[in-house]
Copies of this chain bind each other. A is one copy, B any other.
């Protein structure tokens, strides 16, 4: 599907400002995925959206603004996705932990193009404070939630682990699995998720099997 195709009435002049911004952000993700950060041009983005060359500056003022808006969009999407999974899961800590780990490997998030776009931003983050802040905020809330859930499991299950060390181990492993999916060396979404599930089942045998949380 091309970024220029839209479900609502986006054709012609009718598109609202927000619709256009959305189109351009999607085209930006496409371009980042296809060409990488350093080769992504305004022309490529505009062509991808099926619009003219000046359009980005009209809606976003500058290329930099568009890129920041794109990263912001992906960060928001990521956060609302796992938070939604957390809320939908039952009240039990085990269910919640299972749900947010599953959210990390959801089909909608781990597409080739989104992973590649994240990769492009991460590569630049080290030398761009704005990107770094947006990428970093991504993980802080997630990690705090994981830590609370692991503490709850420990209290319930009588495990001997130190909660902080466990949190670090789990979160670092999840990030490492993402990293491998991004690099693409044979690590599929399913294999990564299986790796995470194996870990949970091994560390919390009283709460999980590799198939899921145990019923009570």
Could you tell me which A residues sit within 8 Å of B by CB distance?
A: 33-39, 115-116, 119-128, 132, 135-136, 139-140, 161-162, 165, 168-169, 171-177, 179-180, 182-185, 195, 198-199, 202
A205 nearest CB across to chain B (Å): 10
Contact A123 B36 (CB under 8 A): yes
Q: Are B182 and A176 in contact (CB under 8 A)?
A: no
Identify whether the interface residues of A are mostly helix, strand, loop, or mixed. Answer: helix
Give which listed residue, B169, B179, B202, contacts A195 with CB less than 8 A. B169
Contacts of A119 in B (CB 8 A): 122-123, 125-126
Pairwise interchain contact B36-A127, C-beta atoms closer than 8 A? yes
Q: Give the chain B neighbours of A124 by CB distance below 8 A.
A: 36-38, 120, 123
How far does the alpha carbon of A207 sit from the alpha carbon of B38 in the complex, in Å?
Answer: 47
Q: Which residues of B contact A173 (CB under 8 A)?
A: 169, 172-173, 176
Residue of B nearest to A139 (CB): B185
Q: Is there contact, CB below 8 Å, between B182 and A195?
A: no
- The answer to whether B34 touches A182 (Cβ under 8 A) is no
- Report Cα–Cα, A179/B177, bound state, in Å: 11
